[in-house]
Amino acid sequence: MSEVTFAKSFLAALDSRPQKLSADHVEDPKNYPARPPYILPKMPKAMSKAVKLAPGQERSVTVHIKSLRNPPLDIRLSSQPLNTSILDLKSSVSSETSIPTDKIKVLYKKKPVSDSKVLKDLLGDDETSVEFSVMVLGGAAAVVAAGGAKAEEKEPAAAAAVAQGVSGEAVLATDAFWTDLRGFLSQRIRDEKITEELFAKFLSSWESSR
């Protein structure tokens, strides 16, 4: 018997059997077997809820920036908010050294970091400082030398701008003042709990006197 003949006879035998289900059969959901409910496991750590903080209470980070090779760089940026991007850090380095941002490559733990990353993406919940390394691409030494001369020319203008800025009691109403104060206390005391207690006393005393 050839394969074709066998297949035809097999199909004919199947056709002679009664159909158990019609082509348009729909099962009643009530007849489905009972299943226990599926419960998602509890998260090991509860999700943090967004809390609206008073001015100056936002967590800030101290950023250290060092170069891996020439030109030597050692820059410290205090009281940086967690939403500070890598591009913002490159801009800060550029403003202090006159190195173009496109010639600065930022590394975190020896790995390149994209400009769109922010400090919150890289740090843990309890970290208050972070260190980055920078690589300055070709020709930067000459750029730094030229930038030093420009910085000396800008010093008188910068001093004049500071003299015309906010002063007196108006400074206490700015977020920048309280952020700087919190960063200063954290650096001097080096104890997060004591820093928070002392900062809260300063802030509550100021708010009650207004």
Q: Quick one: 172 and 195 in the same domain?
A: yes
Domain tally, the chain: 2
pTM above 0.85, yes or no: no
Distance CA 99, CA 145 (A): 10
Confidence grade of residue 163 (pLDDT, cut at 50, 70, 90): very low
Distance CA 157, CA 197 (A): 39
Model pLDDT for residues 72-84, shown as the tens digit of each residue: 888 888 888 888 8
Alpha helix (H) ranges present in the chain?
3-15, 86-97, 119-122, 140-163, 175-189, 192-209
Domain span holding position 184 = 166-210
Q: Quick one: 135 and 195 in the same domain?
A: no
pLDDT at 136: 84
Model pLDDT for residues 174-205, shown as the tens digit of each residue: 877 888 888 888 878 878 888 888 888 888 88
Q: How far apart are the first and last CA of the chain?
A: 105
Q: Quick one: 65 and 128 in the same domain?
A: yes
- Could you give the C-alpha distances from 154 to 98, 134, 161, in angstroms and in order? 12, 25, 11
Max mean pLDDT among 14-23, 145-154, 173-182 falls in 173-182
Position 29 in a domain: no
Alpha helix (H) ranges present in 57-126?
86-97, 119-122
Distance CA 61, CA 95 (A): 20
Distance CA 164, CA 127 (A): 36
Scan for tokens 């820059």, then name that residue.
75
Distance CA 93, CA 134 (A): 10
Q: In the chain, pLDDT over 90 holds for what percent of residues?
A: 5
CATH of the domain at 192: 1.10.286.70
Position 26 in a domain: no
Assess contact for 175 and 169: CB atoms under 8 A.
no
